[in-house]
A = this chain, B = another copy of it.
Amino acid sequence: MNIKFKDCIEALKKLDYGGMYEGDFFLTWEKSDDEIAAVFAVADALRKLRERNYSTRIFDSGMGISIFRDNSTRTRFSFASACNMLGLSPMDLDEGKSQIAHGETVRETANMVSFMADVIGIRDDMYIGKGNAYMHAVADAVKQGYEEGVLEQKPTLVNLQCDIDHPTQVMADMLHIIHHFGGVDKLKGKKIAMTWAYSPSYGKPLSVPQGVIGLMTRFGMDVVLAHPEGYGVMPETEQVAEANARRSGGTFARVSSMAEAFRDADIVYPKSWAPFAAMEKRTALYGAGDMEGISDLEKELLAQNALHVDWSCTSELMRTTRKGRALYMHCLPADISGVSCEKGEVDAKVFDKYRPLLYRQASFKPYIIAAMIFLAKVKNPAAMLQKIRARGTERRI
């Protein structure tokens, strides 16, 4: 789909998203439909501007702080890229090099790293009940710091993946779907299968499937969640999905086989994750410092995974999708059978066929993050985008 810059501006003018100014971004379902649409419109507009070599800087100086409590490549670089294109300098808080081990409180650290911060991006996805709560603690702390005159600006918090949702990922996924099918109005009645897939590794976060069912149910699609018994996601996110589906005129269903999920699907998203109950158990074991218990749990989970090695995205399965050509999606990196592991989430043949589309999917993330920051920092985003275009500063001279 070739979206035009002026269409983005027109779209923005019709939306009500004023509440995003000076706000944060935690979970997609805390945002209105208009707010979600505004993120897409700004992301598209920023990408258009960059493609045409316009500088999209709205900051002359300022910093973007990131805190990664789990490894990351694409989200790390997406966040840094988003900061860079807006004129902010990214800086990572490496907790290992800091004095945090000293017993410093979250509130204190949050303020101490934010003296010049316009945005804070956090990834904290491993422990149930912790990641999102930590992000709120940080956001509250810097808001208070701003009000108390500690900080000259209030940093915006962007959730780069928590225990509940992975908004920058699933928003990028959704924008990819919109582009692929030619517009949000083309999605009514499309079937998307979010399914568990086998992986020889252990303990992958649940935020992607939870985020997918929490967001994709808002567009009138038929969203199907499939997983083996015992691999359920956080119940609250299923409730969100149900409510969304009802409101949007779509459906949300759970099925217990990959085959059923894939049948006539327009979009498939096969991906491994750990059972919610196991993640809760692990959180408790970490809390108790029970390393032996964690090691036992790991073995148990790998054995449990191994019972479902047939949950893999094959060419045969892909042929059962709508006209045999559903859009295959993954948040990457995928466990590819015969490439990164003996047997994994997807066959190499399927992955290779969709590779360019998968990279394209990932490429929306920097723009989604930039749009989230933009909407939090700019009072009149449509006017600012037009101003950026009118000033005509070249990004690369």
Contacts and interface: CB of A to CB of B under 8 A. Distances in A.
B61 A60 contact: no
A364 to B, nearest CB: 10
A152 to B, nearest CB: 5
A148 interface: yes
Given A72-B98, A76-B97, A91-B90, A61 B395 contact: yes
Contacts of A365: 115
A96 to B, nearest CB: 8
Contacts of A356: 148, 150
Nearest to A63: B84
A396 B118 contact: yes
Given A148-B359, A151-B363, 12 more contacts: A60-B394, A73-B98, A73-B104, A76-B97, A77-B91, A77-B113, A85-B116, A112-B359, A118-B396, A148-B356, A150-B359, A150-B363
Is chain A's binding surface mostly helix, strand, loop or mixed? mixed
Interface stretch (A49-57, A131-139, A278-286, A298-306): A49-57
Contact of A98 (B76, B107, B153): B76
A98 B85 contact: no
Nearest to A48: B152
A315 interface: no
From A107, A153, A333, residue with most partner B Cβ within 10 Å: A333
As for how many copies of this chain the complex holds, the number is 3
A393 interface: yes
14 contacts: A59-B397, A60-B394, A60-B396, A71-B97, A71-B101, A77-B91, A80-B89, A81-B115, A84-B89, A102-B335, A105-B340, A115-B366, A145-B359, A150-B356
Contacts of A84: 61-63, 89, 116
Contacts of A310: none
Contacts of A149: 360, 363
A198 to B, nearest CB: 15
A62 B360 CA distance: 19
Interface size class on chain A is: 35 or more
A384 interface: yes
Given A363-B150, A363-B151, A80 B63 contact: yes
Contact of A57 (B60, B103, B366): B60
Contacts of A81: 63, 115-116
A152 B112 contact: no
Contact of A103 (B55, B80, B341): B341
Given A98-B73, A148-B360, A395 B112 contact: no
Contacts of A336: 103
A288 B350 CA distance: 30
A73 B115 contact: no
From A85, A360, A362, A363, residue with most partner B Cβ within 10 Å: A363
